[in-house]
Amino acid sequence: MPSEATRRARPLPAAITRGAFLAALAGGVAAAAGMGAGPARAGGAVRYPGVNLSGGEFGDIGRPLGQGYIYPPNESFAYYAGRGMKLVRIPFKIERVQPEPLGALSVRDADELARCVRAAKAAGLLVVLDAHNFGKRDGKPIEARDLTNLWSRLAARFRDEPSVAYGLMNEPVAFAPPAWRPVVDALVKAIRDGGSRQLLMVPGAGWSGAHSWVSDGNAAAFEDFQDPHFLFEVHQYLDRDNSGSNPQDYAPGAGATRLAAFTDWARRRGAKAFLGEFGFALPAGEAEARALLSFVAAHTDVWQAYAYWAGGPWWGDYAFSIEPGKEGDKPQMALLRAYM
């Protein structure tokens, strides 16, 4: 797979130099635990369509808030809710939220996350807090105890917010599936032991690709995973190497097929899923994007939620961006809304 730096063609704009609905969702997840193999397929709109609101993962560590990175402004939540979104995923860098391993949370960044939670709640949105670190801290594979400590502290901060879900780790490429599973088990135990009952987004190891979930070993590693309130999180791009780094080059048939093996696996074991990242440029990606959204809509017994990549005010002319411009909505927004 391409490196983290090149995997996504995410050009940084000039500003950057480098719970009622939750209860319903959690209830559906819990009910799924008792399903047998091959339940009837559902159809229709996914329950929680959403978007990644980028900014907190931008820039190099050490650059100040407002110059190297931002968190989405309050008006962003109202805009996306007004377009039919019901979920926002908020990426952040661990080193900013917890500057020292095992240390206290940064008051500034934790308060910014709390502001985002309040704004999302006011707009009626479920918010996924996303540790966007690729399984690393300070460029090295993160220690399980360090990640467990981070989430224990965040869970203590937000455990009384039913509209918050925890995205345990974005694309943990530093781990193979057999090594990643015990880290997840430790995280889940620490969060639950602390009294937090929020929804968990559980990723596989590596790039968490839906297309490779079975072949890369995540299916085997997570075959017996259980928790009362979780969704498996996978990502899926539609270019030829599944990376999202080729916004004008789409693999014919990708939209209709790349989610299929994961969907079959999840259905067989009675699990539900969150498509945490996907994106496309128009007009080049229209056919495959429609095929993917149609597939998700045809299999809502598995697919509960998605988050399009991406929104956020610092994207500039990034091909996948759906952040509104001076002329209003981006073209992708109309396509997404057609499947809500």
Catalytic residues: 171, 277
The verdict on whether omega for the bond into residue 283 sits within 30 degrees of 0, i.e. cis, is: yes
The residue written with tokens 């048939």 in the block is 253
SS3 sequence of 228-250: CCEEEEEECCCECCCCCCCCCCE
C-alpha–C-alpha distance, residues 161 and 273, integer Å: 22
C-alpha–C-alpha distance, residues 184 and 245, integer Å: 28
- The total of other beta-carbon atoms located within 10 Å of residue 286's CB is 16
C-alpha–C-alpha distance, residues 112 and 303, integer Å: 30
Strand partners, 88: 51, 127
- The total of other beta-carbon atoms located within 10 Å of residue 51's CB is 27
User: Could you tell me if 142 and 127 are in contact, meaning their C-beta atoms sit under 8 angstroms apart?
Assistant: no
Complete DSSP assignment for 318-336 = -TT----BTTBS-HHHHHH
SS3 content of the chain, % helix, strand, coil (to 5): 35, 15, 50
User: Could you tell me if 65 and 104 are in contact, meaning their C-beta atoms sit under 8 angstroms apart?
Assistant: no
Alpha helices in the chain (DSSP H): 4-7, 20-32, 74-82, 94-97, 107-122, 144-158, 177-193, 218-221, 254-257, 260-268, 286-298, 331-337
Residue 74, token pair as written in the block:
């309050």
